[in-house]
Amino acid sequence: MQMSYLLQLVLIGSAGAFGAVARYVLGHLVASRVGSTFPFGTLIINVSGSFVIGVLFALTARHLLSTTGQLILATGFLGGYTTFSSMSWEGVQLARAGSLRASVLYLGENVVLGLLAASAGIALGW
């Protein structure tokens, strides 16, 4: 059965709202535990989101998850959960605070660990 476009939009938007709330809660939890000098929360969020999107794409390729389910979870939930803009802002803030090395390390970790996590998710889901 084909899901209506309007229903897809509602489900993607709702999933995105849940993803944004999950990002906020996890980011707050990590910052309260380890401090906010280095943005570990966003790093954990982006890497875990990369892993999950890898799993979702592998499950969809194996026909264990529908393309509609993938769309709702990847575009909706993970779109709200992961955050390129916060990562970029935090990288700039580290550099502005005089921590150019930490800024480069943080941005590089997000990219490299994100790629590795997505690859691991695909391997796990395959």
Contact 110/47 with Cβ under 8 angstroms? yes
Q: Is 67 annotated as a binding residue?
A: no
Q: Is 37 annotated as a binding residue?
A: no
**Residue 69 exposed, middle or buried by CB count within 10 Å (0-12, 13-18, 19+):** middle
Query: Which alpha helices (DSSP H) does 35-99 contain, by range?
Result: 40-61, 67-70, 79-81, 84-96
Binding site for Na(+), by residue number, is 79, 82
Binding site, by residue number, is 79, 82
